Amino acid sequence: MKTDTVDSGILFAMELIFEVREAEEGGYIARALGYAIFTEAETWEELRDNVREAASLHFEDESERPKLIQLHFVKDELIALEAA
């Protein structure tokens, strides 16, 4: 999570990053980088709602809750190279 400081010197979280992948059985799975926060959904819109809810439940104290959530979509693809 990216952080920033305020005038009083207190460090607070600004952005929580989720790595999103397509699930083998369809839909999406998401995990927060650096935190034990996981969720899944059938559609992108549902995933956005689930990520918000999961982050809110994980960071119960509103002062510790990130201000932004970034969804980073990752797609793995293997490409064969022809032998020279």
The domain spans of the chain are: 2-73
pLDDT at 5 over 70: no
Which of 23, 26, 16 is CA-nearest to residue 72? 16
Cα gap 77→57, rounded to integer Å:
33
Residues 72 and 61 sit within 8 Å (Cβ to Cβ): no
Q: What is the pTM of this model?
A: 0.76
Query: In this structure, are strands 38-41 and 28-32 parallel, antiparallel, or unpaired?
Result: antiparallel
Cα gap 79→37, rounded to integer Å:
31
* Choices 2.40.128, 1.10.10, 3.40.50, 3.30.160: CATH for 2-73: 3.30.160
pLDDT (tens digit per residue) in 9-63? 444 558 999 999 999 999 999 999 999 999 999 999 999 999 999 999 999 998 8
pLDDT at 7 over 90: no
pLDDT value for 63:
87
pLDDT at 69 over 90: yes
